[in-house]
Structure 1
Amino acid sequence: MFEVREKPEMVERALLVRLYFDPREEDESEALLEELGELVSTLGIGVVEKLLVRSREMHKKFLCGTGKAAEIAELAKAHECDVLVFDNQLAPSQQREWERAADMTVLDREEVILDIFARRAQTKEARLQVELARMQYALPRLARMWGHLDREGGSGGGVGGGGASRGMGEKQIEVDRRMANVRIDRARRELEDVRKQRATQRKEREKMETPHAAIVGYTNAGKSTLLNKLSGADVMAKDMLFATLDTTTRKIELPDGQPLLITDTVGFVRNLPHRLVEAFKATLEEAVLADFLIHVLDATSPEIERFHETTLKVLGELGAADKRTITALNKIDLVTEPERLAELRRLYPDALHISAANGLGMEALLLKCSEVMADRVRRKKYRIPQSRADLIGVLHRDAKVLSTEYEDNDILVTAVVPASIAGRLEEFGI
């Protein structure tokens, strides 16, 4: 039966490698290699060394030359590693060649991210998205997964006679490919059903006319911690990459009394595999459909500019680049150097300085949200006849009622009213 392999479960010691080909890419390559270390550690695999390797040109077999490949393989063996992890994306044939040369498991950045996602997915939607992405990744790699059967080619003497003219391994590969394609099609259908359910839920939210904000940003920037602080929710918030894979939406009240739905989204990462962007489109489309975005940046990160660019790039791919956005520099309380604070103010002059962990700047953030949505609501006073109890019901359902008084046969109501129902109540305004 076709199964996506779980090799990271069996490894404990890893050598990390990133190959780069342009001298101008050295600094960025070094930063990406450090990030790969965090990703691998998230899987619980120990990192024994990180190796940044420059190759003058890209080779088809190993990406680098055979001599350099032999050196890397020997270094991994000297460290007694049981896995080689490449920050580069490896073709199936290159992965096979590296496994032959090093005689150990070889992973690339995409497979590492897929395995993290597989462990973190909680809801049916997230699990389906991960399953689809992992199977699409594994399909062209089935040949090496059945390499242990290559020696079991049949002769004519077995049961079934001439039916063994093709090797058992080849037969199993064909069976697995069919099963893989069946499972991919099934996952796509089930995911489409889940997306339809989400669309129905979204329509219900839109009927309520409640404004909606999505928290976006690089992975581990503090998005879930911010949602917890604003809403009192209990979303998992840990100092690890991709702690959140499932969207969580909570309702809060802004200072002007207006309700606001806030959604926590999956974090972005540089070189996010394209198939994951596609697979997680249903999750990330919360960012596309939100009224505005809260872009959270980790003020303590030396890579903050690149993280900012990565998030904007992914939002652009999703069609959300033009959304109204509030930028928030999180963990600002941990930035103590005056020079660094001045640099952050220069880079992001309009950003709010917050700390989701201790609540610093939360009031300013909520006020900013109110400003962004000011065109949607008005604070109004109405004199409504008691005979029009239906309008009182509309106010309680779709607006924020601040006070209610009775005078003769009228009801005096003060409320924060969204523009969608303001017209129906205009004749009763005071």
Structure 2
Amino acid sequence: MFEVRQKPDMVERALLVRFYFDAREATESESLLEELGELVKTLGVEVIDSVLCRSREMHKKFLCGAGKAEEMAALARAHECDVIIIDNGLAPSQQREWEKLADLCVIDREEVILDIFAKRAQSKEARLQVELARMQYALPRLARMWGHLDRESAGSGGGAGGGASRGMGEKQIEVDRRLAYQVIDRAKREIEAVRKQRKTQRKEREKFGTPHAAIVGYTNAGKSSLLNKLSGADVMAKDMLFATLDTTTRRIELPDGQPLLITDTVGFVRNLPHRLVEAFKATLEEAALADFLIHVLDATSPEIERFHDTTLEVLAELGAADKQTITILNKIDCVTDPFELISLEKKFPGALHVSAHTGQGLEELLGYCSQVLADRVHEQEYRIPQQRADLVSLLHREAKVLSTEYENDDIIVIAVVPAAIAGRLESFATSPA
């Protein structure tokens, strides 16, 4: 499989190509080709040229006609490119035909995304998920990875003619496939173990009923920057696609005193390979299991509507499409045209105007989060005996203590209390909730 990190000197110059087959797809195809360029640059590969081609029909061998394919191969050779990257998905047989024609490495959009994920994955969980997705992708493509497919591993049994009597051995590709299946099975087992561990951790959180929100959105929309601004965390936030692959959860306090766990998730992208959605469900399930979602949109993006729709499509695949969602227009400080602001408000009515860079709109966002969870907290006064200091500690840990006074042998505490712990303190309340 194509691996930039292992071949830094081999892959340096790329020709990007996208084919479309309907004139109505021209604008979106151009946008997707530009996005592919950003993905490739993320890998540190120089984009020498980008070509958008229309084909009247889809051909089985090259996607396009043989003449157009030869033209693209000649262009890549003229530019001294190391790789041709085709934005459309390629079947294994098409990939082999392109490489035979061009005598160059030829990959598709999915392989680019997989290589980015492999480069960025940090946690054991993310690395396992990447390994699984990459092996599932590479399995039907093993034939192009070997120049020794006829090599056989024949056993030599005892006695004369032992080798012949035992028949032909395994071809190398059969060995490789068997090893690939072993890797896939191992990765699946380890990912399942990770999911069980995450489930256990989630149950520990749920003991206290702390509400949970997941930040979702298109890649590079500013999700990590938003988490950093809200929580004071130091999650990597860079102007690049897929800067975040591992989920990060931070605890913050809402204006009404209620605690909230916020999780930053991996960004979505158009034409996200389905096997990546499957492989990353252990990570993305944070979105499916959250109490509500914070959907971050890049207000400066000309493709904001398509990015919005792509996120909703992926959420639907995860079973999270019906979650209560707060939509925010991030980077709003960079939108200076009043007509553009009016247009955004019409496209996304009710969306909050936010800047994770300047902090604009964050108080309003936290207020909305409090409103979403309003039925989970209430203010209450408690009279707690001093020998039950453990309950006072619980209030300080899981609620917002507004005041504390001492009267004889009792501690008088006024606090904003989550419903999850209110029952444990009910007998000490000075008035009904």
Question: Which category describes the TM-score, using the shorter chain as reference length?
Answer: over 0.9
* C-alpha distance after superposition, 1:328-354 (max 9, x if no partner): 111111111111111011111211111
Q: Which stretches in structure 2 are left out of the alignment for 5+ residues?
A: 155-160
Q: How many angstroms apart in 2 are the aligned matches of 1:350 and 1:306?
A: 18
**Is residue 2:99 matched to residue 1:102?**
no
In structure 2, the residue matched to 1:17 is 17
Query: Whole-Å Cα distance in 1 between the matches of residues 199 and 421 of structure 2?
Result: 23
Q: Does 1:422 align with 2:417?
A: no
Q: Which amino acid aligns with 2:19?
A: L
Q: Counterpart in 2 of 1:149?
A: 148
How far the C-alpha of 1:371 sits from its partner, in A, is: 1.2
Q: Which amino acid aligns with 1:118?
A: A
SS at match of 2:405: strand
- 1:212 matches 2:212: yes
Aligned length: 421
CA contact (8 A) 2:88 2:108 kept: yes
Q: Deviations over 1:268-289 (max 9, x none)?
A: 0000000000000000000011
List per-residue Cα deviations over 1:340-391 (Å, max 9, x = no partner). 1110111112111111112111111111111111111112222334465554
Listed one character per residue, the Cα deviations across residues 10-34 of structure 1 (whole Å, up to 9, x for unaligned) are 2111111111111111111111111
* Contact 2:252–2:260 (Cα < 8 Å) also in 1: yes
- Structure 1 segment 318-329 matched on structure 2, within 5 A: 318-329=318-329
CA contact (8 A) 2:2 2:107 kept: no
1:88 maps to which residue? 88
| Cα deviations by residue, 1:405-426 (Å, 9 ceiling, x for unpaired) | 0123432111111112324444
Residues 43-99 of structure 1: per-residue CA shift (max 9 Å, x gap): 111111111111111111001111111111111111111110011000000000000
Corresponding residue for residue 194 of structure 2: 194
What is the one-letter code of the residue matched to 1:282?
Answer: A
Secondary structure at the residue paired with 2:300? Answer: coil
Q: Using a 3 Å threshold, how does the CA distance of structure 1 residues 264 and 101 change in structure 2: closer, same or farther?
A: same
Q: Which amino acid aligns with 1:93?
A: S
Identity percentage of aligned residues? 75
Pair 1:160–1:96, CA change in 2 (3 A) = farther
Judge conservation of contact 1:74–1:102 (CA < 8 Å) in 2.
Answer: yes
- Match status 1:351 vs 2:348: no
Deviates more, 1:392-401 or 1:271-280: 392-401
Q: Look up the match of 1:139.
A: 139
Provide the C-alpha distance between the structure 1 equivalents of 2:153 and 2:198, rounded to a whole number of angstroms: 51
Q: Which aligned pairs between 1:1-150 and structure 2 lie closer than 5 A?
A: 4-6=1-3, 9=8, 10-146=10-146, 148-149=147-148
- Pick closer, same or farther for the CA change 1:259–1:153 going to 2, 3 Å: closer
Q: Name the counterpart of 1:341.
A: 341
Partner of 1:277: 277
2:158 counterpart residue number:
none
* CA shift for structure 1 position 204: 0.5
Whole-angstrom distance in 1 between the partners of 2:32 and 2:197: 37
Residue 171 of structure 2 aligns to a residue whose secondary structure is helix
Aligned residue type for 1:381: E
- What is the aligned partner in structure 1 of residue 178 from structure 2? 178
Q: Give the drift of 1:397.
A: 4.1
- Conserved 8 A contact 1:153-1:164: no
SS in 2 for 1:216: strand
Residue 363 (str. 1) matches residue 360 (str. 2): no
**Per-residue deviation at 1:38?**
0.4
Aligned alpha-carbon RMSD (Å): 2.2
Q: TM-score when scaled to structure 1?
A: 0.93
- Secondary structure of the residue aligned to 1:308 is helix
Partner of 2:266: 266
Gaps of 5+ in 1: none
